[in-house]
Structure 1
Amino acid sequence: MKAIVQDVYGSADVLQLRDIPTPAPAEGEVLIRVRAAGVDQGVWHLMTGMPYLVRLFGFGLKKPKVPVRGREVAGVVEAVGAGVTRFQPGDEVFGTCEGSFAEFVCAKEKLVARKPANLTFEETAAAPISAVTALQAVRDAGRVAPGQKVLVIGAGGGVGSFAVQVARAFGAEVTGVCSTGKMDLVRSLGASHVIDYTRDDFSRAGVLYDVIVDTAGNRPRSVSRKALAPKGTLVIVGGEGGGKLTGGFERSLGAPFASLFSGQKFKGLVSTEKYQDLEALTSMIEAGSVKPAIEKAYPLAEAPAAVASLHEGRVRGKVVVRI
């Protein structure tokens, strides 16, 4: 089968299209014929091995432990391993795995759910990580309730575009923060208000929010807390732009300690992968509350360009790889 493979850490140039053996599902796994694969920020971190914290988490100290990139997948079950009870060959599914930039990939049954009936494979592939992260940020960490004011920083990106829709579905009044070129997209996703961060500073606008979901990963907590209600919650999703060791993740790591000295709550989100949240997301998608925003679908051979465009911040919503 064809797959996007890397032998060493580095920029998108290290990614190569190669022929490699087709995997076989182990116990508790399903073999998926990949129709599309999502591109999330995690792909860039695993590709570069940066920050070094990524390598310490077991992804390979000197080179990637799993050479095939990609973690979000949508496709059709080709075969099932021993013990699999929820799926059979022919089922259309989506979920997370290791190595989805390939014609076939094995995924654990517990990380896969049935594909939303009203989405294409390309649309579905954008959701497993980005949308589930947004769901956990809004529902679990932020505990967003009807009538609350919610600010989403990075509203035009992968997680942010889903967070706007999920918060709105939970009954919140949503304000999105994004760049000029993404404002129309954020409005179309249901944001009641949109702030262009290149022109205006949300922390000086005089509006206080019950929940702030920061998906941009590069602002100090001190900036966001100025716009946070006295008993509000700041949810920090991921981290970018920091040093080589932690890469900005220290914002999330230090959040719980900051809460000890304030009536405001600061939470660093570490998303978890489970099929129950995929099923919850499917219900929202099929009800029309959430829909992936796809800027472009790249063919498999152009996956390196897809990863590069995402990291450069030019993407409105998500990009996916079409198999």
Structure 2
Amino acid sequence: MEQITKRQLKILECIRERKTANNQEIQKCLKDLFGDISRTTVVRDINRLLEENLIEKKGEGRSVRYEELVKNELLSYFDADKYFENGPDERSVAFERFNFDIFKNLKDIFTLEEISELKELNNAYNARIKKMPASAIKKEFERITIELSWKSSHIEGNTYSLIDTEILIKNREEAQGHKREEAVMILNHKKALEYILGERKDFRKLNLRKIEDIHRIIVEGLGVQHGIRKGLVGVVGTRYKPLDNEHQINEAVEKTVKIINGLDDCFSKALVGLAMISYIQPFEDGNKRTSRLLTNSILLADDAC
């Protein structure tokens, strides 16, 4: 979907707030922010939202009204730029606590067209891979290991450069002026990827132990407790508070695993794994790193690019 304009976003917000709106009500919503706007312009913007399947038309003639088209609440349009305009304390949060209703929305997170496109791209990838010599594939996985280890660690605040990461992984030479923990974090990514590659077909069906195995490798030597946490954790940059009850955390992870195993395609499985482990925060630390490696394990298990 192409980026919609601020005016079109305002129309969507107007319809969302009112549940339903006609042309006159939409024009009134726009007036305070954009001044007088012609009916032709409003109709053009409405048609754009209809084309993008963000709203739907109800009724005929003068009784026409528009409603937000939401087949899955998780797929409602979200303006990320607007969200990050405010600081963490001012940002609106739909749920400050874990929302167990999320589980009913974890199916059909891709449209049939999107799944078809992803499968087509993956078929092209597999066709190319079959023609590559084993040495070239090995070299490509080495490159991916370096880049993923660097980027995933960088997201967590690791200050190693990409070149430093390459030297560390290839030669086990630590960069000067960096903490030992930074090197350990990067090398743990390498170990986790090697574990996943060695057991790749094992990840076609998930269970809690496999997720815990990835977490154990990713935090080894970093002073982080293994296994499901027993206390509260906070997430920097948000008012969201994850679950603090060990039994509820276990329940949330097990529900996630069950849903992933029941999905038909690896792309949906990977996205659910990435999002839900990050959302549940089942471990004391290393949750997002674990979720990123879990995502790759699901894709690799299905020979996906």
Is the TM-score greater than 0.5?
Answer: no
Q: Which has the larger radius of gyration?
A: 2
TM-score range, shorter chain: under 0.3
| TM-score, structure 1 normalization | 0.23
* Larger RCO, structures 1/2 (Cα 8 Å, 6+ apart): 1
Structure with greater helix percent: 2
Structure with greater strand percent: 1
| TM-score, structure 2 normalization | 0.24
